[in-house]
A and B are shown apart, each in its own frame.
Chain A
């Protein structure tokens, strides 16, 4: 089935009859699909056995620390990096042997990469020109694209006359004006300053929704990933640690790496001390924590309890209460972050709304959280399910 799809796919909209069937098959196939791809640079394997299917019109983020292979995967879709095993399909068509200039993808770079010797108009029109679009049509489409990125009338300017944020908008317009099958964004916000970054984040998401284009976004910034994506692929050392919606990866991290990379969760190691009825974990310091385990765990098995700093409340009636002494407090306006020493060299971080006053260093408090605020990881750092 997948093979026949690849050969019968008609890139033009089919009119009727037998062709209509294959076009329908193409319409149902994912926008981008990776099937067990490996990417190696010489002996160094940058990506190992990576599989992912990206639905049409969705916004997927590859998130991970530098060197995790996220940019390599993005570049492999573009055809800037060769895969050493597996298959990549764009719109149901296998593209392993398709050169980059025939892949019909839009690419936005971290460094904008606007052609410095061409005007804004010529930059944006570049892709249309190579698609043999008629001149008046090019003019109309470029104007439309510039309206979309809110820089109308900038056709005659040179890239050097624009600010960083404006340049990145033009780069975005250039990448979407010819309606590519996929829009690839390689850390497009990293070169911008903090204020601009926030604004562009909203803008990119808005444009993606309006155009309904499939977007693949690469970033190392968890906030960008959480706020923009339909789905997040958390990458580590060349493979996907977890694939899920922002809520899923944040609330139910699949591995210790995901829990730590997204929002610095507290990880408390201990052992199961009671497994009949409600599961209870005893920490190294002797405190007991009520947790919910999806399955019965043998008594004494080592586990890690993951709790988000935002889930911890100060005082309050919760199922679990951990007493401790505040080591440091940082005031954030609406809330405060407390570093709390709960004994046995274990520190726990709480991000709690300010009730009345900011607590001071040295104060003894009780941190409360519920059983369902916890995620349980096994010895290997994987979520118990």
Chain B
């Protein structure tokens, strides 16, 4: 197709492409938009046309103890998951990029594997394992499960960044008298910060909105936000769920967005004019 002088066919092809793209976006975002809009609906029944603007469903949410408990549970699980996963992920990525050891390839594959196995399989698997060794389902299990799910993504992010940090920086630090640990703390880690923050945000998000695996792992009586929504849906489709959904969207989209913006402004100065290597 000639882009310079579009003929009739070309024009129609472009129109078609545009139309299909539009459809895909509508398909993807319309439900989200509907959820957000309907959360402000005054009517008891979720549906258009809206009967008026109201914040009553948010107010109701604030007084719903079950929801608040679930929110708190999800929040701290996500925070713990983010912290632990980031630590594990960064160290693993460092080892995988900087050292050669036996079984490196195997470890690299094993670390990524949880991201490739379907979540339901993983959920059932861990549950079966716990039953086999006769352990109860505890919060610890739930947190460990979330860590398992998030580690691959953090490792991948940290590894990608690690590859970009040239080894000479560490060599320079070592030659100047810094021990291996000091050079990691003073040089490698600060340069890894974008990956650390990015990984932590992603791990937080993965944990915060995980549904299927959490359903298998949560101890009796414990609800996370997604499982809480699921159980509320079983009873009725209340507009309260729309409000809850909007809050969820705000948390899972907003936090990474804000984090990314902060990060961008942090690294702006540093990125300019790194030396051209091997410029002969």
CB within 8 Å of B: which residues of A?
78, 80, 99-107, 109-117, 126-127, 130-131, 158, 160-161, 164, 167, 174-175, 178, 190-191
Contacts and interface: CB of A to CB of B under 8 A. Distances in A.
A9 to B, nearest CB: 19
A161 B273 CA distance: 7
Interface string B250-280: 0000000000000000000111111111111
Given A101-B174, A191-B275, A113 B169 contact: yes
Contact of B191 (A103, A104, A116, A178): A116
Nearest to B172: A113
Given A126-B173, A160-B271, A191-B275, A109 B178 contact: no
A101 B277 CA distance: 25
A215 B64 CA distance: 74
Q: Is the interface of A mostly helix, strand, loop or mixed?
A: loop
Contacts of A175: 175-176
A127 B177 contact: yes
B275 A117 contact: no
Contacts of A110: 277-278
Interface residues of B, number: 30
Most chain A CB inside 10 Å of its own CB: which residue of B190, B191, B272, B275: B275
B35 to A, nearest CB: 42
Contacts of B172: 107, 109, 113-115, 174
Contacts of A164: 275-276
A106 B190 CA distance: 23
A106 B171 CA distance: 11
Name the residue in B171, B175, B183 with the highest tally of chain A Cβ atoms < 10 Å from its Cβ: B175
Given A116-B270, A117-B270, A191 B276 contact: yes
Given A78-B175, A107-B175, 13 more contacts: A80-B175, A100-B171, A101-B177, A105-B175, A112-B275, A113-B172, A126-B176, A130-B178, A158-B269, A161-B272, A174-B172, A178-B176, A191-B280
A160 B270 contact: yes
Contacts of B274: 116, 160
A105 B177 CA distance: 9
Contact of B171 (A107, A114, A167, A178): A107
A191 B277 contact: yes
A190 B276 CA distance: 11
Contacts of A191: 275-280
B168 A113 contact: yes
A101 B179 contact: yes
A103 B168 CA distance: 17
Given A111-B168, A115-B187, A130 B280 contact: no
Contacts of A117: 190-191, 270
A74 to B, nearest CB: 11
A291 B245 CA distance: 96
Contacts of A101: 174-180, 183
Contacts of B169: 113, 115-116
A377 B173 CA distance: 47
11 contacts: A78-B175, A101-B179, A107-B172, A109-B168, A116-B169, A116-B274, A127-B177, A130-B177, A160-B270, A160-B273, A191-B276
A127 B180 CA distance: 14
Given A101-B177, A117-B191, A160 B269 contact: yes
A279 B174 CA distance: 58
Contact of A80 (B171, B187, B278): B171
A113 B166 contact: yes
Nearest to A192: B279
Contacts of A114: 172
B190 to A, nearest CB: 5
Chain A CB count within 10 A is highest, among B166, B276, B280, for B280
Contacts of A109: 168, 171-172
Contacts of B269: 158, 160
B182 interface: yes
A101 B180 CA distance: 8
A191 B128 CA distance: 59
Max chain A CB contacts within 10 Å: which of B176, B275, B278?
B176
Contacts of B177: 101-102, 104, 127, 130-131, 178
A379 B278 CA distance: 38
Nearest to A103: B175
A133 to B, nearest CB: 11
Nearest to A104: B177
A130 B182 contact: yes
B178 A126 contact: yes
A320 B40 CA distance: 104
Nearest to A100: B174
Nearest to B170: A113
A130 B176 contact: yes
B193 to A, nearest CB: 8
Contacts of A190: 278, 280
Contacts of B272: 160-161
B173 A111 contact: no
A105 B176 CA distance: 7
Contacts of B277: 110-111, 191
Contacts of A100: 171, 174-175
B175 A158 contact: no
Contacts of B190: 117
A303 to B, nearest CB: 37
Contacts of A107: 171-172, 175-176
Interface in B173-217: 173-180, 182-183, 187, 190-191
